[in-house]
Structure formats: C-alpha cells, structure tokens
Amino acid sequence: MYDTLIVGSGPAGMTAALYAARSNLKVGLIEQGAPGGQMNNTSDIENYPGYDLITGPELSMKMFEPLEKFNVEHLYGIVQKIEVDGDIRRVVTEDESYEAKTIILATGSKNRLLGAPGEETYNSRGVSYCAVCDGAFFRNQDLLVVGGGDSAVEEAVYLTQFANSVTIVHRRDQLRAQQILQNRAFNNEKVKFIWDSVVSEIKGNDMRVTSVDIQNVKTGEVTNHAFGGVFIYVGTFPLSQMVSELDITDQEGWVITDNEMKTSIPGVFAVGDVRQKHLRQITTAVGDGAIAGQGVYQYIIENN
C-alpha cells in the first residue's frame, strides 16, 4: 500500500512526488512514457524562473534526478482507471492494480486534432503536432502552422531555423499568444500570416502533403497554397478519461479542484494542466504539485 500514487511524471507530478517523498511518505510515480511530459516536446523554455533559457528535455532531467534521492518508486504503466473503495484508492493499468491511501492525478493534456479532411491521411507524412520532434525533417520547405496561441506562435518561430518560410493561419485577426511571442513572430521576416482563415483541406500526393486549401471565414473564398508541411497547434484536451466515472470533471473533462488541489473525493487530488484553471504553464504545474505533495501528507496525518 502506497501513501500516495501519482499518475503522470510531467512537472506537476514530479514536483508532487518530491514534496510527498520529502515528507517521508511511500510514493509511487506511474508514467506511460519518458519523465517530463510536454516539456519533452518543448524547444526553449524562457519563462521558468532561475534559467534564462533551458531546453525542455534538460529541465525534465533536472526535475527527475532528485526523485531518486528520496526513493520515489517509478512504475511504468498506462493508467486505465482510478477506483475509490472505502479508504482505499486504486490505480488500474492494463496489467497491474496498485493501492494507495491517496492519489494525485497529474496526467496533463494532449494536442487537439484539427478535424480537417486530409489531416489523418497525411499524419506523419507532412502533418505534425510537434515542431521539436519533426522540424528538422522540413529543411528549406514552406510550412503552414495552424493556430494563434502560445504553442502555434512559439513553434512557428522555432521552425524558421529549418524552413524556407512559415505561414501562420489563424481563424481571427488577432493572436491569442503572449505579447513577447507575438513580437518575435512579427519581427521574423520568414514568418507570414493568413488572417481570418481556416484550413478546409490538407492535400497531397501518394507520399506526402503538397498543398492546403484555406478558407477565408469572412468572404467564404477558398484558395489553394503550396506547403510541404502542416504543424497543428489548435489547443489541448485533458487526459482525464481514467476518472470519467468519478464525477470530478467539468463537461470538457478538466478536473475540478479547490485551491488545495483537492477534488470532491477525499484523498484524490489533481494538479497541473489536467485541472480546470486559467494559466497552464510549467510554473503553475510545479506550484500545484508542491501544494498537493504537502496536501497528501496532511490528509494522511488527519485520517490515520
């Protein structure tokens, strides 16, 4: 029986593990992939205090290493379900079941699909959701980035080091991204914009993407543009399907907590991007993790 089982080893889960383990709790950290979560798909991080600039994979390792010292148990598994059975909280993976006094859900979020014709057909054949992973395969190409948030704008600028040009297509005439990221894009001569427009179809040959149909939402006009690759950044959705039966999420699946990261179920906490919250960042994930890591300690003291 673990004192706490943490699902997800992104910045939120790793910080929760650090705080709980430093309180001498028996901590299990369950992850389906490499530690670091979305940080592993992030090029340069410039808004994590203490570092002018650090790469996502580097910051992941810096958060991961101290966990060894405090005997956090690393468990591999794709968590399917979280069950509550009296005082026991159970985490069920495809082939294991683990029991704990408390659970911290730190499963984050995932890229949303665009839903345009051709997106699925050309996935990994010109359509990508990760500039850091795939950018280098698109040297000297003309690329399209879809979206107007932080991810689209930041990754568009990142892609200019490989691409001939990068066009951002956005459904409105104003970006949602932070001003500093917008300024970088506006000041980069390789970055172009198509405003008030959406992708209506991604087209290609037998091998890969060759062009994209883009519709102006104001005039309805559809034009075809040659692109060698399409990077899609139209937001994220929560990875909370494992708690869908617990009635702790809003309609979109974001987990509802109070300021102490407690859900409505005693002993079940949620942290980071999977929570219903306004600012999804590494700093806020880390803050949530610290609060919950300390919170499970308090919960165990009060309930045993």
**Min separation Cβ 192 and ligand NAP, Å:** 17
**Using CB under 6 A, which of the segments 4-12, 113-121, 136-144, 175-183 binds ligand FAD?**
4-12
Q: Taking CB within 5 to 8 Å according to partner kind, which of ligand FAD, ligand NAP, none is near residue 13?
A: ligand FAD
**Min separation Cβ 16 and ligand FAD, Å:** 9
Quick check: is 196 catalytic? no
- Specify whether the CB–CB gap between 170 and 190 falls below 8 A: no
**Min separation Cβ 67 and ligand NAP, Å:** 24
**Min separation Cβ 133 and ligand NAP, Å:** 15
Among 234, 240, 272, which residue's Cα sits nearest to residue 146? 234
Q: d(Cα 277, Cα 295) in Å, to the nearest integer? A: 19
**Residue with the shortest CB distance to ligand NAP:** 149
| Residue 92 in the binding site for ligand FAD (CB under 6 A) | no
Burial grade of 281 (CB within 10 A; 0-12, 13-18, 19 or more): middle
Quick check: is 133 catalytic? yes
Catalytic pick among 134, 142, 196, 213: 134
Q: Taking CB within 5 to 8 Å according to partner kind, which of ligand NAP, ligand FAD, none is near residue 12?
A: ligand FAD
Measured from the CB atom, is 47 or 183 closer to ligand FAD?
Answer: 47
**Using CB under 6 A, which of the segments 100-108, 171-179, 223-231, 246-254 binds ligand FAD?**
100-108
28-65 per-residue burial string, b: 16 or more CB within 10 A, e: under 16 = bbbbeeebbbbbbbbbebeebeeeeebbbbebbeebbe
| Residue 45 in the binding site for ligand FAD (CB under 6 A) | yes
Contacts of 65 (CB under 8 A, 6+ apart): none
Measured from the CB atom, is 28 or 228 closer to ligand FAD?
Answer: 28
| Residue 103 in the binding site for ligand FAD (CB under 6 A) | no
Catalytic residue ranges: 130, 133-134
Residues that bind ligand FAD (CB under 6 A): 7-13, 30-33, 37-39, 41-42, 45, 47, 78-79, 106-109, 151, 155, 239, 242, 272-273, 280-283, 285
